[in-house]
Chains A and B, each alone.
Chain A
């Protein structure tokens, strides 16, 4: 393990994680809202925002799958040191991290069960940008309609159609992130 892997975590874990979680919570509760976060310096190609989400939510109790785009030794070391999350296959993963195309197909992730729809995977997606908007969003958390740049179309439509089962996504670009719960209905602009 290189010394680099030991750096780039939260400087003040309790307070940094608290501020990061409020941004993450607000992003998921209000789809279309873009939140800026700080505190993590993960190795490339993981974005700062994706690093913050992992540091805030992942720990030894949350199995993580790294998509091929992010399955690199430096990233594995950084995640092992800062979160301790066990690396597993996509079917067992509580979290999955990667680029949109590397995460496909989405039906390999756990969507939850009818009795326990919360036992579903959360995808942390590194995207090139969150703007300009490509889709119009409606659903809980959105007053009338919101807009956002989405990486895909059909996969997200299928995901929303499985409610109450489904996957929840965080789209991360640089130090900014947006939330995409399974309840969001997206139509192309």
Chain B
């Protein structure tokens, strides 16, 4: 591969992103500003994740890209092809074989290892943004550890709905200091953020922020003593592989209200079927 510099970005851009990544690792949960570049894909398609991945990739890496758990959707396929072309790295759909996984809004069901890095695509990195639109104010709130507004928001959920209604992008507190948006992963995935053996990196391209969770970092989902945090999923088993502990997508199958629930993690579902002797592409 000689048509592109390795992993697309020029070296000075990669150094800038790498310095931001190191500060992000040193201050877990704090959003480091970085000079996000235009990428050859639209904002909202993972430009932040792509830049973080480009800055971290080595020629020896095995890359996996998932979109809502699936390896075969447009976003995942196009990012995977992008790095095949510009970095010449090996790619895989199997979580266990990957050394670097870029994800949009899911954490794989298969437990991650110390040899892996998980890169999240983040649309709005600021957990307080919908409560306080001014950047100057939210930055000061993080500096003063003033997170009362977030608890008021969760309390209002309880007052209105009887329970905390936030189902995705559920706010977390990192090492007892910074409140962080875990990107729009379902809150089912929140427990996997804490004490993960893998390094977790978050990139928001449009908003120009990078943040990180080092391995074995304590991450607590915000809650109240009388309304403790509970991860939720659809109350079904997967209609294809029968798994009853994985996160499920609801699929409409006709126009008479018929629907089915299937694993959102396509690799997890396929490997379960392979293990039981069923054809994986059924």
* Interface residues in chain A, defined as those with a beta carbon under 8 Å from any beta carbon in chain B: 13-15, 17-19, 21-22, 24-26, 28-30, 56-59, 61-62, 94, 114-118, 120, 122, 140-143, 163-164, 166, 168, 181-183
Select B11's contact among A14, A114, A120, A142, beta carbons within 8 Å. Answer: A14
From DSSP, what is the main secondary structure of chain B's interface residues? mixed
On chain A, the residues within 8 Å of B140 by CB distance are: 115
Binding site for A on B (CB under 8 A): 5-7, 11-12, 14-16, 18-28, 30, 32-33, 55-60, 114, 139-140, 142-144, 175, 177-178, 197, 199, 212-218
Complex contact A17–B11 (CB within 8 A) = yes
Instruction: Name which residue of chain A comes closest to B198, CB basis.
Output: A29
Q: Which of B12, B14, B22, B57 has the most CB of A within 10 A?
A: B22
Cα(A57)–Cα(B143), bound, Å: 27
Given A118-B30, A140-B217, A141-B214: A57 and B11 interface contact (C-beta under 8 Å):
no
State whether B27 touches A117 (Cβ < 8 A): yes
10 A-B pairs with the lowest CB-CB distances in the bound complex, closest first = A14-B6, A141-B214, A181-B26, A114-B143, A118-B23, A140-B217, A140-B214, A168-B26, A118-B32, A29-B214
Can you list 9 A-B contacts (CB < 8 A)?
A: A19-B58, A21-B56, A25-B56, A57-B22, A140-B214, A140-B215, A140-B217, A141-B217, A163-B177
Q: How far is the CB of A183 from chain B (nearest CB, A)?
A: 7
Given A29-B199, A183-B175, residue A57 in contact with residue B18 (CB < 8 A) = yes
Q: Assuming the A-B contacts A14-B11, A18-B58, are A164 and B177 also in contact, with contact meaning beta carbons closer than 8 angstroms in the complex?
A: yes
CB contacts (< 8 Å) of B12 on chain A: these are: 59, 61
Considering the complex, give the chain B residue whose CB is closest to the CB of A62. B19
CB of A30 within 8 A of CB of B19, answer: no
B52 to chain A minimum Cβ distance, whole angstroms, is 11
Given A143-B197, A163-B27, output 4 extra A-B contacts at Cβ < 8 Å: A22-B56, A56-B18, A140-B28, A142-B216
CA gap between A26 and B114 in the complex, in Å: 10
Q: Which A residues touch B22, using CB under 8 A?
A: 24-25, 28, 57, 122, 168
Given contacts A28-B26, A114-B143, A120-B23, contact A21 B18 (CB under 8 A): yes
Whole-angstrom CA separation of A118 from B33 in the bound complex: 9
Q: How far is the CA of A166 from the CA of B142 in the complex (A)?
A: 16
Contact of A15 among B26, B58, B177 (CB under 8 A): B58
Assess whether B27 is in contact with A29, with CB atoms less than 8 Å apart: no
- Complex CA distance for A31 and B58, rounded to whole angstroms: 21
Inter-subunit contact A15/B214 (CB<8 Å): no
Q: Chain B contacts of A21 at CB under 8 A?
A: 14, 18, 55-56
Q: Which residues of B contact A14 (CB under 8 A)?
A: 5-7, 11
Q: How far is the CA of A59 from the CA of B57 in the complex (A)?
A: 20
Q: A18-B7, A28-B25 are in contact. Are A143 and B59 (CB under 8 A)?
A: no
- Cross-chain contact A25 with B25 (CB below 8 angstroms): yes
Centre residue among B27, B32, B139, B144 by max chain A CB count within 10 A: B27
Distance of A14 Cα from B9 Cα, bound (Å): 10
Contact B20 A140 (CB under 8 A): no
For residue A180, which residue of chain B has the nearest CB? B26
* List of A residues within 8 angstroms of B25 by Cβ: 25, 28-29, 141, 181
Name the residue among A22, A26, A115, A168 with the largest chain B CB count within 10 angstroms. A22
Are the CB atoms of B175 and A140 closer together than 8 Å?
yes
A136 vs B27: C-alpha distance when bound (angstroms): 20
Is the CB–CB distance between B57 and A18 below 8 Å? yes
* Residues of the B chain whose Cβ atoms lie less than 8 Å from the Cβ of A56: 15, 18
- A19 CA / B23 CA spacing, docked (Å): 19
Asked whether A141 lies within 8 Å of B56 as measured between CB atoms, the reply is: no
Residues of B within 8 A of A181 (CB): 25-26, 214
Question: Could you tell me if B216 and A57 are in contact, using CB atoms closer than 8 angstroms?
Answer: no
Cα separation A137 to B133 with both chains bound (whole Å): 39
| CB contact under 8 A between A118 and B216, given known A13-B11, A18-B59, A164-B177 | no
Give, as a whole number of angstroms, the nearest-CB distance from A57 to chain B. Answer: 6
* Known A-B contacts A15-B59, A25-B21; A183 and B216 likewise in contact (beta carbons under 8 Å): no
